[in-house]
């Protein structure tokens, strides 16, 4: 029977199942193929917070959400249009998130008494009418996969593990996606184990053919390619973009790159990505703890490298004293903080924006430091370069904030040409005449002397420095002077950063001000509010300390300021104290990105709508 093809403007799909069901792989392959098909997209991987959560439980559900469309996409979507559920727990966890009337494709083989009990269902939701209002399609994915792989040499366990490729093939058929890119990927991934390559190919094609031949699906969906600016695109995650940005900064500065880090979720992938670029002279050091990671990087900076350390919130707390050492010694260092849910161990695999105050203020003594924040996965590339540039120019450590959502999420990235990336000037002092370790240039930056330069030996360490000479000093007036010099040096960064840009009316009733990974949700909310007739403007801060010169001027042009944050109001607190502006706040700390609808509803409420 010929199937109807329904044209869609955009769609949000969520894959969900146990950690061992391969939902992250399924989602990433669907995303890559969707990018190749020309759609704009944004993804949200959602991992269980527990390393070995009990199989079949709600706590063990792993999810991957994808929002793609024929127009520009800014967020991974709010409520999914479709859920692919590999077990009852996947429905249990995600049902409240679905749109009314959403499509649910459920692996009916897993809805047995054991799995229903683990998911705390008293009866089978596929049979008890509790899913009324949704379009439910029970598909025996496990048994169909087993049938497709009859006669292979795989064990029953390995056959079961191939079911995610069956589900992927079915989704390719439903959304009119090509299977060839994944077939090519399978051959590359499993070239050393041809039996697995053969099995996964068969499962993928079986899923696709099931959609084509079954009578239960009467409709297929099509999303036309997006009209993106011409160029070479690839799908990129925030952590990969950060790694490539640091690598680009190394090449553009001519400095060898050194990364000293201790593995911590969700920042570990930056270390892993950079470790493969030894051909660019990259040195990666997996340290025994957070303190060793940052102090090794400080040593590398002293020796003349582009020095990096990566971490998340708990690790940033452990690095605090060493950050103070880098501030005292005035050496360039880039500290990447991929924020996660806290406090303490908190929610390791979930996202949050709660490290802003720690980044800006969280050190003993007066220890100012520039703080930047990336806004999207691909923006991590640009901001990693920018953090490196500022660190080198101003001889200071710099903190770059990303978060779990943009670190693990992905989007199409227009690959820049090499000559489009600005060079980063580096000047090592080599002249003995007139040299003094803390003699400053017009930016108040001290000289950078490469370790071992003859005749330019000087004292280094965490004790207060005498102005100019760098000798240890306990003089009260000198301490007051050095405190103010280091503070002014960081304030001088404001002369080297772009102005805050307002999207929309340059003055008016409401400005939505954001920072970090809230950019996508805010942008979509503002677009939707404008379509409904509301006048609302938007600005997004990437430079948080110091803020752009025109920040106060922008804020004072609007009657009301709304700041959505995945914390309890940390940027709002800084805005109040710095500019005496009392913003409206929207604070939801769920370990997940904002829903677009939450921000849109708040905009409408502030502007007096319903």
502-606 has which CATH code? 3.40.50.920
Indicate the domain borders of the chain: 4-222, 235-417, 502-606
Answer whether 4-222 and 502-606 agree in fold.
no
Kindly give the residue spans of alpha helices, DSSP state H, lying in 74-193. 88-94, 113-118, 141-148, 156-161, 163-174, 180-189
pLDDT > 70 fraction of the chain, expressed in percent and rounded = 100
Round to whole Å and give the CA distance between 33 and 159: 24
Round to whole Å and give the CA distance between 607 and 603: 6
pLDDT band for position 212 (cuts 50, 70, 90): very high
Looking at every residue in the chain, the average pLDDT score rounds to: 96
**Contact present, 66 and 45 (Cβ < 8 Å):** no
Which of 509, 522, 498 is CA-nearest to residue 571? 522
**Contact present, 482 and 329 (Cβ < 8 Å):** no
Which of 281, 275, 336 is CA-nearest to residue 308? 336
Q: How far is CA 168 from CA 31, 141, 200, 579, in A?
A: 11, 11, 10, 52
pLDDT (tens digit per residue) in 309-321? 999 999 999 999 9
Round to whole Å and give the CA distance between 581 and 579: 5
State the CATH class of domain 4-222: alpha beta
CB atoms within 10 A of CB 310: 31
CB-based contacts of 480, cutoff 8 Å, min separation 6: none
Q: Which two tokens stand for residue 236?
A: 């990129």
pLDDT (tens digit per residue) in 249-271? 999 999 999 999 999 999 999 99
pLDDT (tens digit per residue) in 526-558? 999 999 999 999 999 999 999 999 999 999 999
Kindly give the residue spans of alpha helices, DSSP state H, lying in 319-378. 320-329, 356-361
- In three-state form (DSSP H/G/I as H, E/B as E, the rest C), the secondary structure along 420-476 is HCCCCCCCECCCCCCCCCECCCCCCCCCECCCCCCCCCCCCCCCCECCECCCECCCH
pTM: 0.95
The region of weakest confidence among 212-226, 294-308, 384-398 is: 212-226
Architecture of domain 235-417: 3-Layer(aba) Sandwich (3.40)
């Amino acid at each position: 029977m010929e199937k109807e093809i329904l044209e869609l403007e955009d769609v949000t799909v969520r894959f969900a199942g146990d950690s061992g069901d391969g939902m992250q792989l399924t989602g990433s392959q669907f995303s890559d193929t969707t990018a190749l098909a020309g759609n704009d997209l944004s993804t949200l991987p959602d991992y269980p917070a527990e390393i070995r959560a009990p199989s079949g439980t709600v706590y063990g559900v792993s999810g991957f959400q994808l929002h793609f469309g024929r127009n520009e996409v800014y967020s991974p979507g709010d409520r999914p249009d479709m859920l692919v559920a590999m077990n009852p727990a996947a429905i249990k966890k995600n049902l409240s998130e679905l749109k009314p009337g959403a499509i649910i494709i459920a692996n009916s083989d897993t809805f047995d008494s054991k799995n229903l009990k683990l998911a705390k269902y008293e009866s089978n939701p596929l049979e008890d009418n509790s899913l009324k209002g949704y379009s439910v399609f029970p598909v025996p994915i496990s048994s169909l996969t087993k049938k497709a792989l009859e006669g292979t040499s795989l064990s029953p366990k390995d056959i079961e593990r191939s079911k995610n490729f069956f589900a992927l093939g079915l989704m390719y058929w439903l959304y009119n996606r090509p299977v060839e890119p994944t077939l090519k990927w399978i051959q590359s991934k499993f070239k050393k184990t041809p039996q697995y390559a053969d099995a996964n190919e068969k499962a993928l094609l079986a899923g696709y053919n099931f959609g084509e031949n079954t009578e239960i699906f009467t409709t297929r969906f099509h999303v036309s390619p997006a009209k993106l600016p011409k160029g070479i695109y690839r799908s990129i995650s925030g952590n990969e973009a950060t790694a490539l940005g640091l690598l680009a900064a190394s090449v553009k500065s001519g400095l060898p790159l050194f990364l000293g880090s201790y593995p911590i979720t969700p920042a570990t992938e930056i270390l892993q990505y950079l470790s493969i670029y030894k051909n660019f002279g990259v040195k990666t050091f997996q340290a025994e703890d957070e303190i060793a990671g940052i102090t090794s990087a400080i040593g590398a900076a002293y020796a003349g490298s582009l020095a990096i350390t990566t971490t998340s919130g708990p690790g940033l707390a452990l690095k605090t004293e060493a950050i103070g050492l880098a501030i005292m010694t005035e050496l360039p260092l880039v500290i990447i903080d991929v924020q996660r849910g806290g406090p303490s161990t908190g929610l390791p695999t979930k996202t949050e924006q709660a490290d802003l105050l720690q980044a800006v203020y969280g050190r003993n003594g007066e220890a100012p430091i520039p703080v930047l924040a990336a806004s999207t996965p691909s923006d991590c590339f640009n901001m990693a370069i920018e953090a490196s540039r500022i660190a080198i120019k101003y001889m200071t450590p710099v903190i770059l904030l990303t978060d779990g959502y943009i670190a693990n999420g992905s989007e199409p990235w227009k690959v820049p040409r090499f000559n489009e990336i600005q060079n980063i000037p580096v000047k090592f002092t080599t002249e003995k005449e007139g040299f003094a370790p803390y003699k400053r240039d017009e930016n108040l930056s001290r000289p950078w002397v490469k370790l071992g330069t003859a005749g330019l030996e000087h004292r280094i360490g965490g004790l207060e420095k005498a102005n100019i000479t760098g000798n240890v000093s306990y003089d009260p007036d000198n301490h007051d002077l050095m405190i103010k010099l280091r503070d002014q040096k960081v304030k001088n960064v404001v002369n080297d950063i772009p102005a805050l840009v307002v999207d929309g009316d340059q003055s008016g009733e409401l400005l939505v001000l954001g920072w970090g990974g809230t950019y996508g949700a805010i942008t979509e909310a503002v677009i939707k509010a404008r379509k409904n007739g509301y006048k609302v403007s938007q600005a997004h801060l990437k430079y948080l300390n110091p803020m752009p010169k025109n920040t106060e001027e922008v804020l004072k042009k609007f009657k009301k300021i709304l700041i959505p944050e995945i914390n309890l109001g940390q940027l709002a607190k800084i805005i109040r104290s710095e500019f005496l502006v009392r913003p409206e706040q929207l604070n939801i700390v769920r370990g997940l990105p904002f829903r677009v609808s939450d921000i849109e509803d708040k905009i409408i409420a502030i502007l007096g709508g319903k």
